[in-house]
Amino acid sequence: MDRIYLDHNATTPVDPEVVEAMLPWLGEGYGNASSVHSFGREAKVALEQAREQIAAFINCEPAELYFTSGGTESDNMAVLGAAYQLKGKKSHLVVGATEHHAVLEPAEHLMHQDGFKLDLLPVDGDGFSSVDDLRRLVGDQTALVSVMHANNETGVVQDIVALTTVTREKGILFHTDAVQSTGKIKVDVVQLGVDMLSLTGHKIYGPKGTGALFIRKGVKLAPLFYGGSHEKKRRPGTENVCGVVGLAKTLEIAGRRMEEDHRCIQDLADYFIDQVTTTLPDVFLNGPRRNRIPQTVNLSFAGIEGESIVLSLDIEGIACSAGSACTSGATEPSHVLMAMGKPKVRSQGAIRFSMGRSTTKEQLDYVIAKLAPVVQRLRDLSPLYGKQK
């Protein structure tokens, strides 16, 4: 069997329709959108048409959408920009305990370098935050709350509508990282009640290096970059016209495929979870069966390191990712799973299988067939497995 890719949460192949839409802007449509001549005007028209398409997809005004290089930049713009704008007036941040590092690290920087107080909004065993906990943490000094829409490791979809009810009552800015949800489930900034929302294209069959930040009209952010009037001086730099056109096409395709993709991948995910957990002992699903993006299946294998499973499956032509990060040569447990209260050894044995449009039942059967002997071999070598049992 050909190589099998189950790491769609990391990135996805670019859809051929998206490539076709981008090609003219890599060729004869090379003008700078800020130039006043005909080459520039053509690029500007394409840029603004794409802005209108993307804005309609998330239900905002085109003027509220700012193009970036991707989710990480959008998250940094929101967190740092809001904090620096309000510095001297407010000095407190609340971010989800299971946030992506693109939110956590800017918040930690503000705490260490700028004196902001930082509180992490806790989650329960399934990864959900509560309104009561948020009410307890926020106050008059809270500048920003940032809670991601769908978690990149577990797929858990937070009840953002309930959380923003709290921040609207208190006049606190709310940002959500919707990198893993936009294009997979409905994302409507008005319905969600958010002040800022980050999205990107490469998680949903679009180009890498292209993203956007929704900033609700009236919200002021301190700029992080200087040097031009692009994107109303909020994100100076020559616009990536080709990438933005690709992003618009990506979301167009996602819109017409969303229900079908969701249904098909949900069926595949349910099948995979059932087969793995019944075929192998001591395997645990991290997060709920529902209220998550179905693309994401996070499983812990008792007694073994996730990285060992990833490397062993890679030899078999199967790509997935560990639920833990490798730093300075030492495998650290996933902060997401630790925040959910999972034991350290369970967190270190976590694997994220993330599915996509190309995933088939035949591929999953092959993965299950290869996974069983890999897990058995690693457990036979592990001094921990017997002790854990």
Residue range 117-162, pLDDT digits in tens: 999 999 999 999 999 999 999 999 999 999 999 999 999 999 999 9
Contact 358, 15 (CB under 8 A): no
pLDDT tens digits, 1-34: 799 999 999 999 999 999 999 999 999 999 999 8
317 and 235 within one domain: no
Burial class from Cβ neighbours inside 10 Å (0-12, 13-18, 19+) for residue 209 reads: middle
Cα dist. 231→65, 228, 240 in Å? 9, 9, 12
pLDDT given for residue 228 in this prediction: 86
269 and 136 within one domain: no
127 Cβ contact list (under 8 Å, min separation 6): 98, 151, 154, 156, 286, 287, 288, 336, 339, 340
- Range of lowest pLDDT (210-214, 254-258, 262-266, 384-388): 384-388
318 and 215 within one domain: no
Q: What is the pTM of this model?
A: 0.95
Q: Identify the DSSP state of 315.
A: H
Coil, strand or helix at 30: coil
262 and 249 within one domain: no
Coil, strand or helix at 74: helix
Query: What average pLDDT score do residues 303-318 get?
Result: 95
Query: What average pLDDT score do residues 78-83 get?
Result: 98
200 and 73 within one domain: yes
Contact 310, 321 (CB under 8 A): yes
CATH number reported for the structural domain that contains residue 191 in this entry: 3.40.640.10
Query: What average pLDDT score do residues 270-290 get?
Result: 96
249 and 262 within one domain: no
82 and 194 within one domain: yes
Residues with a catalytic annotation lie at 326
From 253, 275, 293, the end of a domain falls on 253
- What is the percent of the chain where pLDDT is above 90? 90
304 and 192 within one domain: no
174 and 41 within one domain: yes
Q: Two tokens at 271?
A: 């099948």
Work out the pLDDT band at 324, boundaries 50, 70, 90. Answer: very low
Number of domains within the chain? 2
Which residue in 304, 328, 268, 321 sits closest to 388, CA to CA? Answer: 304
Question: 211 lies in which domain range?
Answer: 16-253
104 and 57 within one domain: yes
381 and 235 within one domain: no
pLDDT given for residue 39 in this prediction: 92
Contact 306, 312 (CB under 8 A): no
Q: At residue 53, does pLDDT exceed 80?
A: yes
Cα dist. 86→80, 97, 116, 186, 228 in Å? 10, 23, 11, 31, 23
Q: At residue 97, does pLDDT exceed 80?
A: yes
